[in-house]
Amino acid sequence: MSQLIVLVVGILAILFIIWWFFGKHQVATGVAEVASNEQTIAINVSGGYSPEEVTLKKGIPAVLTFTRQDPSSCLDHIVFPDFGINKALPKNEPVTVKIDTTKPGEYTWACGMDMFHGKLTIK
């Protein structure tokens, strides 16, 4: 009897792992708030980025504020390769990143080791 329970629980756990890590999941998206000719958005860094996808309006200067809460050194840098930005993210300290929004398109950002990713859309 206990064997059957373990079997069922074990198979469920395996299915859960497959679904959780390999299934398609909705990512958190965010649109920046526009106020007096500046758009701002706060991004929380903990086990990844929330939101993970950010949409910005073209032509309005944008400021992204990253706050790292994750203790992992994996996330201690933020890199925007297209904009030549590479900043350190001290834990629990908001770090602002200014984005030039003159050119529309899709850009990515990543942590210092290119493990975690986020997407920036300017339109």
Residues at the contact surface with other proteins, assessed by CB under 8 A: 2-4, 6-7, 10-11, 13-14, 17-18, 20-23, 25, 46-48, 50, 52, 69-74, 79-81, 84-86, 110, 112-116
Kindly report the number of other CB atoms within 10 A of residue 48's CB atom: 16
Least CB distance to other proteins at residue 93 (A)? 14
Least CB distance to other proteins at residue 26 (A)? 10
* Straight-line distance from the first to the last Cα atom of the chain, in angstroms, rounded to the nearest whole number: 60
Assess whether the previous peptide bond of 51 is cis (omega < 30° from 0): yes
81 or 94, CB closer to other proteins?
A: 81
* Cα–Cα distance for residue pair 40/114, rounded to 1 Å: 24
19 or 58, CB closer to other proteins?
A: 19
12 or 34, CB closer to other proteins?
A: 12
Least CB distance to other proteins at residue 4 (A)? 8
Q: What are phi and psi of 106, to 5 degrees?
A: -105, 130
Q: What are phi and psi of 62, to 5 degrees?
A: -120, 145
47 or 104, CB closer to other proteins?
A: 47
Asked if 72 and 105 count as a contact pair (C-beta separation under 8 A), the reply is no
Residue with tokens 């992204």: 64
